[in-house]
Chains A and B, each alone.
Chain A
Amino acid sequence: MLYREAGQFKTTYAADQQIFPIRQDRIAVIALLAVAFVGVPLFASEYWFSAILIPFLIFALAALGLNVLTGYAGQLSLGSAAFMAVGAYAAYNFQLRIEGIPIMLSFILAGLTAAGVGVLFGLPSLRIKGFYLAVATLAAQFFIVWCLTKFPWLSNNSSSGVISTQKLIVFGYELDRPVEKYLLVLSIVVLMAFAAKNMVRSSTGRAWMAVRDMDVAASVIGIRLMPTKLLAFAVSSFYCGVAGAMYAFCYLGSVEPDGFSLDMSFKILFMIIIGGVGSIMGSFLGAAFILLLPIFLDIALPYCADLFGLPFSSATVSHIQILVFGGLIMFFLIVEPHGLARLWQIAKEKLRLWPFPH
């Protein structure tokens, strides 16, 4: 089937304001969901679930959170990993300290806790912008990790703040197989991605983008800057917080504060730069790209070296990985600041005209 809008006349504004106005997009999304919920569980191996798909979904959610803040509301943040840490430790503590609390409720509360902390560290954004704000969120990054190591209560007095998460019991059923965890993570991520899409296509999202693009004009129109920015911090941190809780509960099972390092914050930032700043789908593309590239290089590089008969060590692989990442990030920053999602968009526009380009 050709990718066309033609022939799909929209006779009502309601039809034009659907979440995916083009029919082919709707079909693609439904197909993708069917594959993810039905196809993948039938065929994927345990390794794929626990080493690739689950972390991919979790990081995509965190990237989505950062994208709300940075891509839509225009507030740069380097604290995503710290907000994930808040989510992880909050979920752990809710499970630990409240008898019989359902895991889903602790995830939501974990998100809310992260949102609260996010708003607190978002306060400087009312005064400062850009680079200076990034530095302020950097403070959040170090301060939160420091707190988690410094106050043993938060990790139930374990040494150096390591926590081992409780069992994952959903509606009385214990999820311990990777495929079950995958389905749980997938459901949460899909729901939250739709919620994000809905927010950014309505007046909440327009207010964020208005503040991002021209804050004086935004306030002259009647948008109140303070609540708008703080809401972006809250929603963004909520997403990161839930991602962090799942990172601990559904992926690693045991985490320490230093695991949520500045490196990880940067990794999430790179995901949205490469995937697409200000794009929901870009968050997924970026996460997939950043997580899969090292795996791909691990396989491809020794093979290439072999082909050319070059000496080879695992140190070389990691060096080349860094080089490739650096190069790609510079490429996207300079050539295509809207990332893979924009490239995809351009491809679609071309496809819309294909095979008659003029």
Chain B
Amino acid sequence: MSKKIGEVILDLQNISLRFGGVKALTDISFDVRRHEIRAIIGPNGAGKSSMLNVINGVYHPQEGKIFWHGNERKRMEPHMAARQNIARTFQNIALFKGMSVLDNIMTGRVTRMKANFIEHALWFGRARQEELAHRQKVEEVIDFLEIQHIRKTPVGRLPYGLQKRVELGRALAAEPSMLLLDEPMAGMNVEEKQDMCRFILDVNDQFGTTIVLIEHDMGVVMDISDRVVVLDYGKKIGDGVPDEVKNNEDVIRAYLGAGH
């Protein structure tokens, strides 16, 4: 692999997050570089999802600083993260159950649509053109993920694996510069996992999207990620390229401790 990993675009410094007495994250620092696949691993309850929630503004850490493209970020709400081109998927599928696959993915483009509700009501000017232009873009995503056949299906009727794929599609539709994936392969069979791996690698490769990935399947993580952060009980216990992390004593102990 000879891809160009660029400068640091997201830098988290000394992040601490508490829920009442529960310390979800304690003094965590790490960075993410342009174009890399950065994995976050750790046993259950380690604080991985909380970390993603901090990155896109769902949770607000009590301490620590976040630098986005070199600028310190103020307290930020999730919809603002979306406007800074950060997209994500969720550990528990968070699709819009009452809508079709197409409509779900169309919502991914909401930050790029400018027409207001009056234009929509009258189906006039920008409204019509925008719906068409964005439909074009969404169809590209649908082709990329090979889900043409379920375009009009209500997402609730789809099997789990396809729902995960649609959720990825909704995130991709935003054309994000950074994509946060929370266990995109959980609960999938081998074949579905392979597809998902391929999509993630293609997104990273073709669109140059930076990816932050939470995953429990060590094989997958070691295979596709450039650097790995390891969390345990809300603390960082390892950080580096896959081989380094694999041989890190603390990491081995955490995993053995949790597993046995």
Residue numbers of A with Cβ under 8 A of B are 13-14, 16-17, 19, 195-196, 198-199, 202-207, 209-210, 212-214, 216-225, 231, 235, 278
Contact = CB atoms under 8 A, between A and B. Distances in A.
B117 A235 contact: yes
B174 interface: yes
A221 B82 contact: yes
A212 B45 CA distance: 29
- Identify which of B79, B83, B127 gathers the most chain A CB atoms within 10 Å of its CB: B79
Contacts of B127: 198, 202
Nearest to B82: A222
Give the interface residue-count category, chain B.
35 or more
User: Is the contact region of chain A dominated by helix, strand, or loop, or is it mixed?
Assistant: helix
B86 to A, nearest CB: 9
A11 to B, nearest CB: 13
Contact of A203 (B110, B123, B132, B136): B110
Contacts of A204: 116-117, 120-121
Nearest to A71: B98
Given A209-B103, A235-B117, A220 B88 contact: yes
Given A199-B121, A223-B79, A214 B58 contact: no
Contact of A278 (B79, B98, B170): B98
B132 A13 contact: yes
> What 5 A-B pairs have minimum CB-CB distances, sorted nearest first?
A222-B82, A217-B94, A222-B111, A213-B96, A195-B121
B83 A222 contact: yes
A253 B66 CA distance: 63
Contacts of B77: 219
B258 interface: no
5 contacts: A13-B135, A206-B106, A216-B78, A220-B78, A221-B87
A13 B136 CA distance: 8
Interface in B123-155: 123, 127, 130-132, 135-136, 139
Interface in B63-100: 77-79, 81-83, 87-88, 90, 94-99
B98 to A, nearest CB: 5
Contacts, number: 111
Given A13-B136, A13-B139, A17-B135, A203 B113 contact: yes
Given A222-B83, A223-B110, A231 B117 contact: yes
A17 B132 CA distance: 8
B106 A198 contact: no
Contacts of A210: 96, 99, 107, 110
A198 B94 contact: no
Contacts of A13: 132, 135-136, 139
Given A213-B99, A217-B94, A222 B120 contact: no
Contacts of B218: none
Interface in B195-245: none
Contacts of B88: 220
B123 A206 contact: no
Contact of B174 (A19, A206, A221, A235): A221
Q: Which of A195, A202, A207: most chain B Cβ within 10 A?
A: A202
B53 to A, nearest CB: 9
B47 interface: no
Nearest to B77: A219
Given A195-B122, A203-B113, A203-B115, A221 B108 contact: yes
B115 A202 contact: yes
B107 A221 contact: yes
Given A203-B106, A213-B96, A220-B82, A198 B122 contact: yes
Given A17-B131, A198-B127, A212-B96, 18 more contacts: A16-B135, A195-B122, A198-B120, A198-B121, A203-B106, A203-B115, A203-B130, A203-B131, A209-B96, A210-B99, A212-B98, A214-B94, A219-B77, A219-B78, A220-B79, A220-B81, A222-B79, A223-B79
